[in-house]
Amino acid sequence: MPFYLVLIALVTVYILKKIMTMNKVILLNKRPHGKPTLSDFKITSEEIPAAKDGEILLKTAYVSVDPYLRGRMNDAKSYVPPFELNKPIQSGIIAEVTDSKHADFKKGDFVSGNLDWKEYQTSSGKYLQKVNGSDAKLSSYLGILGMTGLTAYLGLTEIGMPKEGETIVVSGAGGAVGTVVGQLGKLLGCKVIGITGSDEKVGLLTSTFKFDHAINYKTTKDLKEAVKSACPKGVDIYFDNVGGEISDAVLANINKYARLPVCGAISLYNETKVALGPRLQPLLLTKSATMRGFIVGDFAEKFPAATKQLTAWLRDKKLTFTETVVEGFDNIPQAFLDLFEGKNKGKMIVKI
Ligand code: NDP
């Protein structure tokens, strides 16, 4: 064979080998100002790492994108440290063990944990939990059987403390946490009203998720009146996922001894100035109401029992869930941005 053909063959094999061992990574390129954009992220590549003794090699299968990641993109002190510039973003991930030099894991196992936005990565296995796709859909460990399910269950039961016959309003109702809160409210014998951002989600809440009533906050002119007419006996529990003007409208309708779990404030995450609203002290005082913010980790010791309960209800079909699944590693940033446009129904998941 002529020398130049051998050379071309060798170069081709080298390039193919390089491409096949390339590992895509998503870094925080710059800190967003206001609404995040694609340019805040950077997709780069590195070599696929090899597992050393005591390590496993993981191949990412499903990535959770969550509103709270927005807070970690700011350079501000919070309950978790901010993401560093030019370092990988992290979130809840389900990954497959593709190589193991660790006694507790074998090839083919699936694990769940807070991992880097990388196609492949090594891990010591610390803080990873094995998950089993035959017990429940693998991606459900990022949603109803994972962090968002626990947030809904523990926020509602520990702070909301629902009693049969009470009225619950939940904002962000068509999302991962909201759809679970509403179903739990119904299971516990309450009347449940959801507030969400499209007529399609309104339909989903009242049909699939059995909410008593749902309100589209984007098309309702007087939200305060809409909540009042949906809750003739007033609001006993307001599970707040969004904050801002939606919450102002609900709070105007609370009953004496109302409980107000503050789970999230997505309507304010991209604000660049401090947003002003009604002063709440007189309302909380005269209604003897309890407003309490929480981070799901506050209830970490209750995770095993809560997971067991959620798993049982899911198995017995007393709970259900829906997902919006985006495909492809490169689409993780866009899926994250789409949360702020309400493009997800239920849990937003990226399948790799
Ligand atoms: P979701 O699945 O609910 O997705 C976000 C949803 O928020 C969107 O689909 C959109 O729905 C709604 N939304 C976006 N922008 C606005 C806006 N400006 N005003 C009102 N609604 C808006 O996310 P999660 O279920 O994962 O999270 C829900 C909330 O709970 C978030 O605020 C999150 O930060 C918080 N959270 C808190 C935890 C804790 O430990 N305290 C843990 C997990 C989540 P729509 O079409 O209705 O506008």
Ligand 1 centre to CA of 309 (Å) is: 23
Please return the burial class of 26, using the count of CB atoms within 10 Å of its CB with bins 0-12, 13-18 and 19+.
buried
Structure tokens at 183: 């179903």
Instruction: List for the chain the helix, strand, coil content (%; round to 5).
Output: 35, 25, 40
Q: What are the helix and strand counts (H, E) for the chain?
A: 10, 15
How many Å apart are CA 216 and CA 174, to the nearest integer?
Answer: 10
| Ligand 1 pocket test, candidate residues 241, 271, 350, most atoms within 8 A of CB | 241
| Ligand 1 cavity residues, CB under 6 Å | 66-68, 147-148, 151, 172, 174-178, 196-198, 201, 241-242, 246, 263-267, 294-296, 339-340, 342, 344, 348
CB 324 within 8 A of CB 347: yes
Question: Could you tell me the pLDDT band of residue 175, with boundaries at 50, 70 and 90?
Answer: very high
Q: What percent of the chain has pLDDT over 70?
A: 99
* CA–CA dist 224, 252 (Å, integer): 7
* Ligand 1 centroid from CA 192, angstroms: 18
pLDDT tens per residue, range 269-294: 999 998 889 999 999 999 999 999 99
304-335 pLDDT per residue, tens: 999 999 999 999 999 999 999 999 999 999 99
Residue 65, amino acid: V
Say how far apart CA 260 and CA 253 lie, in whole Å: 12
Rounded to the nearest 5°, which phi and psi values hold at 349?
-130, 145
Position 20 scores a pLDDT of: 67
Q: How confident is the model at residue 37 (pLDDT cuts 50, 70, 90)?
A: very high
Residue ranges of E strands in the chain:
22-28, 41-47, 56-64, 90-100, 110-116, 120-123, 129-131, 167-171, 191-196, 213-216, 235-239, 254-262, 290-293, 323-327, 347-351
* Closest approach atom of ligand 1 to CA 295: 40
Per the prediction, the chain carries an average pLDDT of 96
User: Which strand (E) or helix (H) includes residue 285?
Assistant: helix 281-286
Return the best residue to mutate from 177, 248, 272 for the ligand 1 pocket (most ligand atoms within 8 A of CB). Answer: 177
Q: Is the pLDDT of residue 162 over 90?
A: yes
- Over residues 172-187, mean pLDDT: 98
Which atom of ligand 1 has the smallest separation from the CA of 151? 42
Q: Is the pTM of this model over 0.85?
A: yes
| Angle at CA of residue 268, ends 173 and 179, nearest 5° | 10
Q: Which helix (H) or strand (E) holds 305?
A: helix 303-315
Query: Tell me: the pLDDT tens digits for 202-225?
Result: 999 999 999 999 999 999 999 999
pLDDT confidence tier of residue 18, bands split at 50, 70 and 90: low
Do 145 and 133 form a contact (C-beta atoms < 8 A)? no
